[in-house]
Amino acid sequence: MLDIKDFSFFENQNKFDFKMFLIKTGSYWKWFLFGLIVCLIVAYQINIRQQKIYSLDTTIAIKEQDNPLFTSNTSLVFNWGGSSDQVQNIATTLKSRSHNEIVVDKLQFYIEYLQQQKYYIQDVYGSTPFIVKIDKAKGQLFDIPVNIKFVSPTEYEISITANSNTVPVINYLSNSKNVVNLGTTKIVKRYKVGQSVSLPFLHWSLEIVPNSENYEGKEFMVKFMSFDEVVSDYKKLRIDIDEKSPSILKLSMDGTNKSRIVDYLNETVKTLIKRQLDNKNLFAENTIKFIDTTLQLMEGDLKKANQDLKMFSKNKNIPQLESGGSVLQEQIVDLDKVNGDVDRKINYYNNLSNYLKRSNDFSKLPAPSVAGIEDPNILLNVTKLVELSVRRSEMVYSVKSDLMFNNIDNEISAVKNVLLENINSAKAAIQFESKQIKNKIDKMEGQISALPEDHQEYLKIMRKYELNNNIYETYLQKRTEAQIVKAANLSDIQFIDPAKDIGGGLIGPRTSVNYVIAIFVGLLVPLFIVFLIFYINNSIQNTDDISNLTRLPLIGVIGVKKSATNLTVFEKPKSALSESFRAIRSSLQFLYRKNKVVGAKTLMLTSSVSGEGKTFCSINIATVFALSEKKTVIVGLDLRKPKIFDDFNLTNHIGVVNYLTEENTLDEVTHKTKIPYLDVITAGPIPQNPSELIMGETMVKFMEELKSKYEYIILDTPPVGLVSDSMELAAFADITLYVMRQNYTKKEMVNLLNNRVSREELKNVSIILNGFENKAKYGYGYGYGYGYGYGNYANGYHQEDDKENRIVKIINKLVANKNKNNS
- In DSSP notation, 392-449 reads HHHHTTT---HHHHHHHHHHHHHHHHHHHHHHHHHHHHHHHHHHHHHHHHHHHHHHHT
Does residue 223 sit in helix, strand or coil? strand
Quick one: fold of 550-771?
Rossmann fold (3.40.50)
Residues 406 and 410: their CA atoms lie apart, in Å, by 6
Write out the H or E segment, with its range, that includes residue 366.
none
Q: Which has the minimum average pLDDT: 12-16, 365-369, 490-494, 710-714?
A: 12-16
DSSP character for 767? Answer: E
Q: Residues 288, 479: contact at Cβ < 8 Å? A: yes
Residues 267 and 775: their CA atoms lie apart, in Å, by 68
Instruction: Label residue 424 by pLDDT band (50, 70, 90).
Output: confident
Q: In what order do the strands lie in the sheet with 202-208?
A: 130-134, 202-208, 196-199
Q: In terms of DSSP bridges, do strands 506-508 and 140-141 run parallel, antiparallel, or are they unpaired?
A: unpaired
Q: Which has the minimum average pLDDT: 219-228, 466-475, 506-515?
A: 466-475
Q: Which has the minimum average pLDDT: 155-159, 779-783, 806-810?
A: 779-783
* Phi, psi angle pair for 645, to nearest 5°: -70, -30
Model pLDDT, residue 737: 93
Residues 470 and 178: their CA atoms lie apart, in Å, by 62
In this structure, how many other beta carbons lie within 10 angstroms of the beta carbon of residue 118? 7
Mean pLDDT of 241-254: 87
Model pLDDT, residue 739: 93
Residues 39 and 45: their CA atoms lie apart, in Å, by 10
Residues 141 and 135: their CA atoms lie apart, in Å, by 12
Residues 356 and 382: their CA atoms lie apart, in Å, by 10
Q: Is the pTM of this model over 0.85?
A: no
Mean pLDDT of 610-616: 89
Q: Residues 262, 500: contact at Cβ < 8 Å? A: yes
* Phi, psi angle pair for 15, to nearest 5°: -125, 125
CA-wise closest residue to 604 among 816, 743, 756: 756
pLDDT above 70 covers a percentage of the chain that reads 80
User: Tens digit of pLDDT for each residue in 397-414?
Assistant: 555 567 767 888 888 888
Model pLDDT, residue 792: 37
User: Tens digit of pLDDT for each residue in 618-632?
Assistant: 999 999 999 999 999
User: Tens digit of pLDDT for each residue in 139-160?
Assistant: 999 999 999 999 999 999 999 9
Q: Check whether 771 has a pLDDT greater than 70.
A: yes
Q: Which has the minimum average pLDDT: 76-80, 213-217, 249-253, 706-710?
A: 76-80
- β-pair partners for 167: 180
Model pLDDT, residue 679: 94
Q: Check whether 37 has a pLDDT greater than 50.
A: yes
Beta strands in 646-764 (DSSP E): 670-672, 678-681, 712-716, 735-741
Q: Residues 237, 109: contact at Cβ < 8 Å? A: no
Q: Residues 637, 614: contact at Cβ < 8 Å? A: no
Model pLDDT, residue 444: 67
Q: Check whether 82 has a pLDDT greater than 50.
A: no
Higher pLDDT, 92 or 16: 92
CA-wise closest residue to 580 among 620, 607, 536: 620
CA-wise closest residue to 801 among 785, 789, 787, 786: 789
Mean pLDDT of 88-113: 90
Q: Return the amino acid letter for 818.
A: K
Mean pLDDT of 636-665: 87
Q: Residues 546, 589: contact at Cβ < 8 Å? A: no
CB-based burial label for 635 (10 Å; 0-12, 13-18, 19+): buried
Write out the H or E segment, with its range, that includes residue 190.
strand 186-192
User: Tens digit of pLDDT for each residue in 718-742?
Assistant: 888 777 777 888 888 899 999 999 8
Higher pLDDT, 6 or 638: 638
- β-pair partners for 221: 114, 147
Chain length of the chain? 823
Model pLDDT, residue 319: 59
In this structure, how many other beta carbons lie within 10 angstroms of the beta carbon of residue 773? 17
Write out the H or E segment, with its range, that includes residue 551.
none
**579: CB partners within 8 A, 6+ apart:** 798, 809, 812
Model pLDDT, residue 808: 53
Q: Which has the minimum average pLDDT: 109-118, 209-218, 429-438?
A: 429-438
User: Tens digit of pLDDT for each residue in 354-413?
Assistant: 878 887 777 767 767 666 777 788 878 887 887 788 777 766 655 556 776 788 888 888
Q: Check whether 669 has a pLDDT greater than 70.
A: yes
Distances (CA, A) of 186 to 161, 198, 201: 5, 17, 13
Q: Check whether 783 has a pLDDT greater than 70.
A: no
Q: Return the amino acid letter for 686.
A: I
pLDDT above 90 covers a percentage of the chain that reads 32
Q: Return the amino acid letter for 761.
A: E
Q: Convert 562-598 to b/e letters by CB count within 10 Å (16 or more is b).
A: eeeebbbbbebeebbbbbbbbbbbbbbebbbeeeeee
CA-wise closest residue to 562 among 553, 552, 570, 572: 572
Mean pLDDT of 237-263: 90
Q: Which has the minimum average pLDDT: 174-183, 706-715, 746-755, 779-788?
A: 779-788
Q: Check whether 128 has a pLDDT greater than 70.
A: yes
Among 38-42, 440-444, 574-578, 747-751, the range of highest mean pLDDT: 38-42
Q: Which has the minimum average pLDDT: 211-215, 483-487, 508-512, 586-590?
A: 483-487
Model pLDDT, residue 396: 63
Instruction: Label residue 318 by pLDDT band (50, 70, 90).
Output: low
Q: Residues 123, 113: contact at Cβ < 8 Å? A: yes
Question: Mean pLDDT, the chain, as a whole number?
Answer: 80
Does residue 737 sit in helix, strand or coil? strand
Does residue 640 sit in helix, strand or coil? coil
Q: Check whether 466 has a pLDDT greater than 60.
A: yes
Domain ranges in the chain? 5-50+509-536, 57-75+83-90+103-278, 282-488, 550-771
Residues 32 and 2: their CA atoms lie apart, in Å, by 11
